[in-house]
Amino acid sequence: MIKGKTRKNTYRAIYRLLDRVSPVPFDCGTICGAACCRTDEPENMGLYLLPGEEKIHDRRDPWLTWELQSTEEYDFPPSWHGKVCYVNCAGPEHCRRSLRPIQCRTFPLKPVILKEGEESPVPVVYREPGCELALTWQDEALPYCCPLIASAAALDPAFLRATYTVWKHLIRDPLIRDLAAGR
């Protein structure tokens, strides 16, 4: 299993912070039928846990199914060696919201590290002045259309600040930093 430097208590604190915010002031799943939470699509809907994030989950908990995947077989940074956890949710009706993985909680945004003067190929949604970290819309191919991304929706400022704070802490871990930097 790939080992990151982010501690279990840090992940717990991050989860608590993100519990208090949402991208919009209503359940965005009501507009799209919770498309990002469905596993009944032909594509296998799921996401990768960040290095060490698996420490706060119980693999016996039936709301998630687990699979270990090799970093060499997928598009991970070269610094990532070994296995990563890929999880699938049993669907929104079974979701344990307090345990949703970070990449679920911060969707539809993703972190990117931009060098000084570098422009993002995807519109930057939030960035603090003088910081290399930026939040952009998730731009990976998705088997569904996220209405928030499609409309470039105005996101809740508290969500933007909390998500930015979380990723600022997470990129202190060299493995997560490499992921955000696209290396």
Domain-wise residue ranges, the chain: 8-181
Q: Identify which of 1-5, 95-99, 114-118, 172-176 has the greatest average pLDDT.
A: 172-176
Nearest residue to 166 via CA among 38, 4, 15, 36: 15
User: What is the pLDDT averaged over residues 49-53?
Assistant: 96
pLDDT band at 142 (very low <50, low <70, confident <90, very high): confident
Whether the per-residue pLDDT at 42 is higher than 60: the answer is no
Q: Which residues of 81-176 form beta strands (DSSP E)?
A: 83-89, 109-113, 124-126, 133-137
pLDDT at res. 183: 62
Which uninterrupted H or E stretch holds 156?
none
Nearest residue to 92 via CA among 104, 82, 84, 102: 104
Q: How far is CA 166 from CA 59, 93, 105, 143, 183, in A?
A: 24, 27, 11, 27, 20
3-class SS of residue 123: coil
Does residue 76 contact residue 179 with C-beta atoms inside 8 Å?
yes
> Chain-centre distance of CA 32, in angstroms?
19
Q: What is the pTM of this model?
A: 0.91
pLDDT at res. 101: 95
User: What is the pLDDT averaged over residues 176-182?
Assistant: 94
Does residue 62 contact residue 120 with C-beta atoms inside 8 Å?
no
